[in-house]
Amino acid sequence: MIDIKLLQNDFDTVAASLMKKGVDAEILNNLKSLSENTKTKRQEMEDVTASQNRLSKEFGRYKKEGLDIASLQNEINGLKLKKQELEEEVKVLEDSLSSIILGIPNIPDDTVPIGVDESENVVLRRIGEQPKFDFEPKEHWDLNNGWLDFERGVKLAKSRFSAIRGEGARLERALINYMLDFNRSRGFEEWYVPFMANTNTLQGTGQLPKFEEDLFKIEGEDLYLIPTAEVSLTNLYNDEILQAEELPLLMTSYTPCFRKEAGSAGRDTRGLIRQHQFDKVEMVAITKQEESDEIFEKMVSCASDLLTSLGLAHQKVMLCSGDLGFSAAKTIDLEVWLPGQGKYREISSISNTRDFQARRAKIRYKDEKKNILAHTLNGSSLAVGRTLVAIMENYQQADGSVKIPEVLRKYM
């Protein structure tokens, strides 16, 4: 979450940055008012506590010197009651403040372009050549190879679930293994983590409380199906103090991901692009603050080089302020070329959240004698289903078959 002290000390600057991300000015003004009231009430409580402590010392002296303590006792008792009342008021105010703060997004970096939505994102670079065909390329769901069975996926669950068979299923598995091996070669340690997470874990990375409607809840349990391995990997170090020499921690993991896609009604209703369940290989980093920009570039390069190794043309895109995710201070998307659709589509999103998640999850490191909030970063490397789609469309043959990229053949 954002630093409440920063908000209190420089409200106008912080508010202006948050408004670039689409936060309503009225919410920010209410937050400012509540913050000031909380600060005033806490100061009043501390003043009463100080008076109580001072009179308590006087009480000891009165007794020792045989002075009348009745009026002093009454005054101390009055201060004690006043302190209890103020403590209750402060708790109510601080709980309200925390509830609002948990719903306020991260402050965008100064380098992030200002914009309202994805139409104002900035293409930084295009990498690789788009394939040429001597026939009209098809979209992945139209390829006549029997890999994708959407009807049976719906029968087993509901819409936006699918089944993959035969060589398609083998290619999905091959991609997972290849991605993990590639990331390990770049210094990311492989983890295998739970596919469910509790409330505290999801709050630590920012999915709760704001995005609860997009999560699949386990009935009768304080558990949700994870929307991304970012949740599990980052929170491995929830409420821990690391040693500076341990950092950076670079982690990678394969998990299925589960999302209700509550806000995407009518979008990508065909094919594998937007499913309720999908496979993803994730990268997460926990770093010292001064190293996070360097690690960010390392993660972008890792995902981009992975796409290049698969022979997939793609572009790097800097997200504008209005398209940034809730926890992100800065994000670069990688968009892969899909010849069937005739456009680039997101396949990876790499974000630096600075200390936003670390403050929520209490992830710190000890630098000499001080405990400092770490910086956390995360990125897809890659969304497996979308990579399967990209290979199907880019390597399709005229008869509907799909050529397997050279680097994947040993996995097949």
Whether residue 346 lies in the annotated active site: yes
Q: Of the residues 58, 274, 291, 309, which is catalytic?
A: 274
Whether residue 274 lies in the annotated active site: yes
Phi, psi for 139 (deg, rounded to 5):
-75, 155
Residue 160 predicted with pLDDT over 80: yes
Residue 69 predicted with pLDDT over 90: no
Average of per-residue pLDDT across 343-348: 97
Domains of the chain: 4-103 (1.10.287.40), 118-408 (3.30.930.10)
Question: 127 has which bridge partners?
Answer: 314
Average of per-residue pLDDT across 355-368: 96
Lowest-confidence region among 3-12, 17-26, 190-199: 3-12
- Rounded Cα–Cα distance for residues 377 and 32 (Å): 29
Could you tell me whether strands 249-258 and 224-225 are parallel, antiparallel, or unpaired per DSSP bridges? Answer: unpaired
Q: Of the residues 232, 327, 349, 381, which is catalytic?
A: 349
What was the pLDDT predicted at 264? 66
What was the pLDDT predicted at 177? 98
Phi, psi for 88 (deg, rounded to 5):
-65, -40
- Rounded Cα–Cα distance for residues 306 and 300 (Å): 10
Place of tokens 């670069």: 332
What was the pLDDT predicted at 356? 97
pLDDT tier at 405, thresholds 50, 70, 90:
very high
Q: How far is CA 336 from the centre of its chain?
A: 22
Helix (H, G, I), strand (E, B) or coil at 83: helix
Q: Of the residues 89, 120, 240, 346, which is catalytic?
A: 346
Residues annotated within the binding site for ATP are 259-261, 346-349
What is the token pair recorded at 42?
Answer: 């806490």
Residue 61 predicted with pLDDT over 80: no
What was the pLDDT predicted at 59? 75
What was the pLDDT predicted at 266? 66
Residue 362 predicted with pLDDT over 90: yes
Angle subtended at Cα 165 by Cα 273 and Cα 401, rounded to the nearest 5 degrees: 80
For the chain, how far is it from start to end, CA to CA, in angstroms?
A: 44
Say if residues 16 and 28 touch (Cβ distance below 8 Å). no
What is the token pair recorded at 49?
Answer: 């506590």
Taking every pair of Cα atoms in the chain, the longest distance, rounded to a whole number of angstroms, is 107
Q: Of the residues 35, 162, 259, 360, which is catalytic?
A: 259
Whether residue 96 lies in the annotated active site: no
Residues annotated within the binding site are 228-230, 259-261, 282, 346-349, 378, 380
What was the pLDDT predicted at 208? 95
Lowest-confidence region among 47-61, 105-119, 285-299: 47-61
What was the pLDDT predicted at 122? 98
> What Rg do the C-alpha atoms of the chain give, in angstroms?
27
pLDDT tier at 56, thresholds 50, 70, 90:
confident
Question: 277 has which bridge partners?
Answer: 258
Residue 265 predicted with pLDDT over 80: no
Average of per-residue pLDDT across 243-249: 96
Phi, psi for 355 (deg, rounded to 5):
-100, 15
What is the token pair recorded at 275?
Answer: 């499913």
Helix (H, G, I), strand (E, B) or coil at 173: helix
Lowest-confidence region among 70-84, 136-150, 283-297: 70-84
Question: 285 has which bridge partners?
Answer: 250, 377
Q: Where are the beta strands (DSSP E) in 259-313?
A: 277-287
What was the pLDDT predicted at 3? 87
Q: How far is CA 23 from the centre of its chain?
A: 18
Q: Of the residues 160, 345, 360, 386, which is catalytic?
A: 386
- Rounded Cα–Cα distance for residues 407 and 412 (Å): 10
Residue 39 predicted with pLDDT over 80: yes
Residue 411 predicted with pLDDT over 70: yes
Whether residue 119 lies in the annotated active site: no
Helix (H, G, I), strand (E, B) or coil at 403: coil
Going by C-beta distance under 8 Å and a sequence separation of 6 or more, which residues neighbour residue 253? Answer: 190, 191, 192, 193, 229, 232, 233, 281, 282, 284
Residue 7 predicted with pLDDT over 90: no
Place of tokens 């704001």: 210
More confident residue, 263 or 356: 356
Selection from 149, 151, 251 nearest residue 193 by Cα: 251
Whether residue 170 lies in the annotated active site: no
Residue 384 predicted with pLDDT over 70: yes
Average pLDDT, the chain: 94
Check: pTM over 0.85? Answer yes or no: yes
Residues annotated within the binding site for L-serine are 228-230, 259, 282, 378, 380
Could you tell me whether strands 249-258 and 189-191 are parallel, antiparallel, or unpaired per DSSP bridges? Answer: parallel
Q: 110-156, pLDDT tens digit by residue?
A: 999 999 999 999 999 999 999 999 999 999 999 989 999 999 999 99
- The number of helices, as runs of H, and strands, as runs of E, in the chain is 11, 15
